Structure 1
Amino acid sequence: MPSVVQRLFETCKEVFAEGGDGIIPSLEDVNRLRSVLDNVGPSDVGLTQNMPYFQNSSSAGTLSVTYLHIYECHKFSIGIFCLPPSGVIPLHNHPGMTVFSKLLFGSMHIKSYDWVNVPQNSDEIVNSLHYQHPGLRLAKVKTDAIFTAPCKASVLYPEDGGNMHCFTARTSCAVLDVLGPPYSDPDRGRDCTYFNNLPFDSFSGDGKLAADEDEVYAWLEERKKPDDFLVVGARYSGPRIMER
């Protein structure tokens, strides 16, 4: 019987066969890949919580996040982010990508956003902000919650589902990520961008946003990769993928 990782690889090959920037798999394919991910556990990818990269060994600030590379081609990538307690993956985007994430173990806080346009009926204060601060864009909160394994895989899309997100580990945790297509160099438009998130009223003051009262809004501002965000690579020790 093929391993769960092999089945994940084979499913990704089929789901992303016609993939590319901004191309979203069919709902049937999304559900098929999500179903495979829902059945992946830590032992299926060779992980235990006592591995060194899940330990908080830093006494002076910077907590490194470890990335285990499983597979990558120009259509998709598969990998695992390993976070120690209080480890953070800062707010960043996934341009033109469909992303599947499965929390393998642990508990983490996830906050995500989607871009929105300033509603036409907003007052002049809000409408003028885009001209006064061209680096700002309006976004709405998609998710602001704590997730604890075991839980279902989540999916975000190029324009929906929380394309910009931030992970904060409450305990040691591991996240299996599938990106279709993967990040690429800036010339191809799929470089990772980081953001500061600013409360809506921090720039708008008394300005009023003509929008759904149930939505929570913020301004996102592009920034450089945070100096205290350190990702280190480590050897993936789980079942190998056999390309056929």
Structure 2
Amino acid sequence: MRIETGLVDRKGQNICKLPGKKTNKPKKNRKRNQKSPRVVQKLFDTCQEVFATGGAGVVPSPEDVERLRSVLDSMKPEDVGLTEDMASFQMIDRESTPPIIYLRLYECDRFSIGIFCLPQSGVIPLHNHPGMTVFSKLLFGSMHIKSYDWVTDVSNNGKENLDPSPYQSPGKGFRLAKTKNDSIFTTESDTSILYPTAGGNMHCFTAVTSCAVLDVLGPPYSDAQGRHCTYYLDFPYASLSGDAGLEPEGGRAAYAWLEEREKPGDCVFLEAKYEGPKIVEK
């Protein structure tokens, strides 16, 4: 996803800047809050190990996937310096689609760590993750996630095969996909994980309430290396197949036709400075 920098509000102030006032908190409170830098650092150190030999299409071992998932499952908003009343999660202009604010914690050729801040009703449109393994942890709020994987082929009896050729619709430019998720996620939900060819590689986020989602991508998007972000429109299976179409296993509702599209004009990603606990490269 292309993310613009230099986010300011109408008064020219950085709307994602975290409160910087000093307070005279009791020592025990300061000690309790000192856990945050350790949590962020642990996340970074784990990513360095998990993606040490990573690359496009390279999936970490099941043990490494679970190790990173465990770290993310334990993370809270305060671990990255977020509060729900920050301006990043407020509606700036209720007459238009609210912008999505991105906080970049770290990025290298092997992985990236960042936070997407969505006001209520904010949407990250349906898009893909070419050759990536992606971990998404909802830090607060609730979010609807709909995700798909490509169907590689469908035989005459509606069963999926492993034939590598994509199954195309009678309409030009449409490709068949199978629904992986279509549900509401909350902070009680486990970290979601998608893979290069499974787990819901194409997904759409819609903020039911204002929310923040922490994303780890391995590897990150790279136009230079051919890992472009592609956006899609989805259509019900029956809308293009008609009564004469195949009857896929699981029923037609479990499938959809996806069509590539340009990035929606009302979809705005803006980058603001991350001011939470810092990451130290070792």
Q: TM-score, normalised by structure 2?
A: 0.81
- The answer for the alignment partner of 2:250 in structure 1 is 213
The question of whether the paired residues in 1 share the 8 Å contact of 2:52 and 2:110 is answered with: yes
- Residues 1:191 and 2:225 aligned together: no
Distance 1:200 1:4 in 2: 44
- Residues 1:222 and 2:257 aligned together: no
- The answer for the alignment partner of 1:126 in structure 2 is none
Moved more, 11-20 or 58-67: 58-67
Distance 1:170 1:38 in 2: 20
Q: Secondary structure at the match of 1:94?
A: coil
Question: Out of 133, 139, 144, which is 1:98 matched to?
Answer: 133
Q: CA deviation at 1:132?
A: 4.2
Deviations 1:143-194 (A, max 9, x none): 0001111322110000000000000001000000000000001x42211000
Distance 1:105 1:238 in 2: 16
Deviations 1:78-115 (A, max 9, x none): 00000000000000000000000000000010000000
Distance 1:210 1:175 in 2: 36
- The answer for the alignment partner of 1:43 in structure 2 is 78
Deviations 1:186-242 (A, max 9, x none): x42211000000111111111232431357000000000000100111111110000
The question of whether the paired residues in 2 share the 8 Å contact of 1:79 and 1:178 is answered with: yes
- Which of structure 1's runs of 4+ aligned residues deviate more than 6 A? none
Q: Name the amino acid aligned to 1:184.
A: S
Q: Secondary structure at the match of 1:3?
A: helix
Question: Out of 153, 157, 180, which is 2:191 matched to?
Answer: 153
Distance 1:229 1:13 in 2: 31
- The answer for the alignment partner of 1:14 in structure 2 is 49
Distance 2:101 2:94 in 1: 17
Distance 1:201 1:131, change over 3 A: closer
- The answer for the alignment partner of 1:166 in structure 2 is 204
Q: Name the amino acid aligned to 1:195.
A: Y
Distance 1:117 1:243 in 2: 41
Distance 2:157 2:124 in 1: 33
Distance 2:142 2:250 in 1: 30
- The answer for the alignment partner of 2:107 in structure 1 is 72
Distance 1:131 1:36, change over 3 A: closer
Q: Name the amino acid aligned to 2:115.
A: I
Larger fraction in strand: 1
Q: Answer with 1 or 2: which has the greater Rg.
A: 2
Q: Name the amino acid aligned to 2:233.
A: N
Distance 1:13 1:207 in 2: 51
The question of whether the paired residues in 2 share the 8 Å contact of 1:66 and 1:232 is answered with: yes
Q: CA deviation at 1:29?
A: 0.1
Deviations 1:39-70 (A, max 9, x none): 11000000000100101121321210000000
Question: Out of 180, 198, 203, which is 2:218 matched to?
Answer: 180
C-alpha RMSD of matched pairs (Å): 1.6
Q: Secondary structure at the match of 1:8?
A: helix
Q: TM-score, normalised by structure 1?
A: 0.93
The question of whether the paired residues in 1 share the 8 Å contact of 2:121 and 2:208 is answered with: yes
Q: Name the amino acid aligned to 1:202.
A: S
The question of whether the paired residues in 2 share the 8 Å contact of 1:102 and 1:152 is answered with: yes
Q: Name the amino acid aligned to 1:226.
A: P
- The answer for the alignment partner of 1:234 in structure 2 is 272
Q: Name the amino acid aligned to 1:208.
A: G
Q: Name the amino acid aligned to 2:218.
A: G
